[in-house]
Structure 1
Amino acid sequence: MADDRSAANTTRSLADKIEWLIQNRWPAGNRPPKNNLEAAAAISEATGEELSSTTIWKLRTGRSDNPQLKTLKALARFFGVPIGYFGDDEDAEAMADQVAASSLTGESGLNREALRALVEMSDGGRQLVADFIISAARLERGRGH
């Protein structure tokens, strides 16, 4: 369990953050992109900022980790996250945690009753739930979901 906690304290790369947004925060009602060309077109159309498929590819693969501010602003606008989400400090990681938590209450996420129940649980109960979630996520990743 110590490994999980230390891993949680590491800063995710910009590529990891952008990939997470594409996989988990694609706007409701829009078909998720099949490739970088579709992702770039959707973001460009929604924000008015021209992004190329090459730019998206470089960001998703980590080949570019210092994009222009206008690119980050377009991504932030499209995914509905604060621009600070893309930073590489503790504040950015805290913001990323808030973004992930807010995603839980989306269309297919947890309902308010479940969230309230989690808050009202003892520390031991919350840790048990956290361990279960981490185990379930590992199983899904292993199955390619």
Structure 2
Amino acid sequence: MPDDDFAVPSEASLLAQRVDQLFRMSRPQGRVWTDDELAEHLGHERPDARITGDYLRELRTGRQANPPAALLASLAAFFGVEISYFFDQAHTDRVAYQLAVLEQLHNVGVRGAGSPPHRPPKSRRNP
């Protein structure tokens, strides 16, 4: 009988972990999104996709293992990562590190970390 401590995670398990990590640690538009909120948001962008909060929950827990590529592309775009995040361990590790740094900054009160910098409007006066 194999030792469960050394079991290799399945592809579905790895995908679930990666999707869940984005939900827990990424803050698109400055906040954490629920499954239902994101499903509604993505549904407005792609009404033909019929994405539900239940489907996203199943994806995050590994009960849904084969999402359409278009959904992964939509999730990647929404969370600001490349689609390779879901498949390439080295890329996943880089993003995980960046998310952890942003989480630490957020926890110490730094707001807007990870957002584009604010630029003051250009002066309209002529030189």
Where on the TM-score scale, by shorter chain, does this alignment land: which range?
Answer: 0.5 to 0.7
| Residue of structure 2 equivalent to 1:56 | 56
SS of equivalent to 1:13: helix
The CA distance in 2 between the partners of 1:31 and 1:61, in whole Å, is 18
Residue ranges of structure 2 left out of the alignment (5+ in a row): 1-5, 107-127
Q: What is the DSSP-based 3-state SS (H/G/I as helix, E as strand, rest coil) of the residue aligned with 1:55?
A: helix
Q: Give the Cα–Cα distance (whole angstroms) in 2 for the partners of residues 84 and 93 of structure 1.
A: 9
Q: By how many angstroms is 1:108 displaced?
A: 4.6
> What residue is the counterpart of 2:28 in the other structure?
27
Structure 1: which 5+ residue stretches go unaligned?
1-5, 111-145
> Does residue 93 of structure 1 match 2:92?
no
The C-alpha deviation readout for 1:40-74, integer Å capped at 9, x for no partner, is 123434xx134222320220121111111100100
User: Higher Cα Rg: structure 1 or 2?
Assistant: 2
Instruction: Judging by fraction of residues, say which structure has more helix.
Output: 1
Give deviations 1:55-105, integer Å, cap 9, x for gaps. Answer: 202201211111111001001101111111111xxxx11111111122244
Determine the C-alpha separation between the residues in 1 that align with 2:103 and 2:60.
Answer: 25
Q: Which has the higher contact order (CA 8 A, sep 6+)?
A: 2
Please report the RMSD computed on the Cα atoms of aligned residues, expressed in angstroms. Answer: 2.8
2:76 maps to which residue? 76
The percentage of counterpart residues that share the same residue type is 31
Partners of 2:32 and 2:26 lie apart in 1 by: 12
Structure 2 residue 39 is matched with structure 1 residue 40: yes
Q: Number of residue pairs matched?
A: 96
Q: Verify the 8 A CA contact 2:39 2:52 in the aligned structure 1.
A: yes
